[in-house]
Amino acid sequence: MQAVATDRRPGRAAAEEQAHVAAGLQACPPDVLDLVLWHEREIGRLLSAIDEHEQALAIELRPALAARHDEIARAGERLASHREQDATRARVAALTSSLSWCATAPARRLYDWYLAVLARAKGGRA
């Protein structure tokens, strides 16, 4: 198929251009014109749908997505905090269940009693 070059000289009248386009359209078979018009309508419909989807994205979905990302970040921070607390509890449990902890328990109780006696002697209450 051969491309038709358009003459876009500044002096050419608008009516002459319209006549040229009309003559070109009359030379095409009617089914081709219908097909071209159908494609033009379909392209317009698709472009309108794309614009609607882009507006929905910009107005509703992007802010909602950003809020969900913030929620995920906060949940990750809470999870890390819980894991750290669990690890600390595990270390304390391991320490308090060790043989050395059990063996030094009487000495710790005696030391606590000693501190209470000192506090009472200075006028405070234990």
Tens-place pLDDT, residues 10-69? 555 677 777 766 776 666 667 777 888 888 999 999 999 999 989 888 888 888 889 999
The verdict on residue 47 lying in a domain is yes
Location of structure tokens 């009309």? 22
pLDDT of res. 126: 46
- Rounded Cα distance, 20 and 27, in Å: 11
Phi and psi at residue 116, in whole multiples of 5°? -65, -40
Please count the structural domains in the chain.
1
Rounded percentage of the chain residues whose pLDDT exceeds 70: 79
The residue that leads in pLDDT, 3 or 79, is 79
Token pair 């990750």 in the structure block, residue:
76
Q: What is the pTM of this model?
A: 0.42
- The C-alpha atoms of residue 101 and residue 113 are separated, in whole angstroms, by 18
Domain annotation covers residue 78: yes
Give the per-residue pLDDT at 125: 55
Asked if residue 8 is part of any domain, the answer here is no
Q: Is residue 83 part of a domain?
A: yes
Asked whether the predicted pLDDT for residue 73 surpasses 60, the reply is: yes
Q: Would the pLDDT of 1 be above 50? A: no
Lowest mean pLDDT among 4-8, 16-20, 92-96: 4-8
User: 3-state DSSP helix/strand/coil percent for the chain, to nearest 5?
Assistant: 80, 0, 20
What integer pLDDT is reported at residue 109 of this predicted model?
Answer: 94
Whether 111 is covered by a domain: the verdict is no
Residue 76 falls inside a structural domain: yes
Residue 77 lies inside a defined structural domain of this protein:
yes
Asked if residue 1 is part of any domain, the answer here is no
Question: What range does the domain containing 90 cover?
Answer: 16-98
Phi, psi of 46 (to 5 degrees): -65, -40
Reported as a pLDDT band with limits 50, 70 and 90, residue 124 is: low
